[in-house]
Amino acid sequence: MTSAERREQLIRVARHSFAERGFEGTSVEEIAARARVSKPVVYEHFGGKEGLYAVVVDREVRTLLDAIRGALETPGSSRALIERATLTLLDYIETNPDGFRIVARDSSLESTGSSFASILSDVASQVEDILAAAFKVQRINPKVAPMYAQMLVGMIAYTGQWWLDARRPKKPELAAHLVNLAWNGLRGLEASPQLRA
């Protein structure tokens, strides 16, 4: 195996281990044993578990953000953009369950510089412009768009976490329900909401 091939093998093995047991529950010994190499090989390529974990998380974050950016950059109506972003996140969860578990569970370790919250915040910042434009049409202050973007992205992401294990309903049905709540809820927003209790 070449050095590059060995590196990729270690990343694949570690990705699965981190998804199963998290950062704390995974050891360099376990990764080395699963890859059928000695511990020094892992240290040689990554400097230790933290370095390997950082590479795994960075790849997952890039994959997820690139997919969502692509969905949001494609022209369309506000509803179509919300639908595409929702389906994109659910597609990622479905095709990369190990990666999503890593990112959603414990990617907030300081060694990576990424956290699930910061990933969601990045996605939400891209949604802000879509919401601000829709708010202007509805005569709602567009300055509240960042707050609503956080709510919307959080709703989809945390429902996705639940769906990762439940796997019911099927993805298109789940996406339709998420978009239904998001779109119909956003469409009926009050300009100056107040608690009534």
* CATH code (residue 102): 1.10.357.10
- Is 91 part of any domain? yes
Model pLDDT for residues 9-52, shown as the tens digit of each residue:
999 999 999 999 999 999 999 999 999 999 999 999 999 999 99
Quick check: 23 and 106 in contact, CB under 8 A?
yes
Quick check: 83 and 186 in contact, CB under 8 A?
no
Q: What is the pLDDT of residue 79?
A: 84
- Is 37 part of any domain? no
- Is 9 part of any domain? no
- Is 94 part of any domain? yes
Cβ-based neighbour number of residue 53 at 10 Å: 24
Q: In which domain, by residue range, is 106 found? A: 56-188
- Is 92 part of any domain? yes
- Is 24 part of any domain? no
Q: What is the pLDDT of residue 193?
A: 86
Q: In the chain, how many domains are there?
A: 1
Mean pLDDT computed over 68-92: 87
Q: What is the pLDDT of residue 111?
A: 40
Quick check: 68 and 59 in contact, CB under 8 A?
no
The candidate with the shortest Cα–Cα distance to 14, out of 32, 40, 1, is 32
Quick check: 23 and 29 in contact, CB under 8 A?
no
Mean pLDDT computed over 165-169: 92
- Is 119 part of any domain? yes
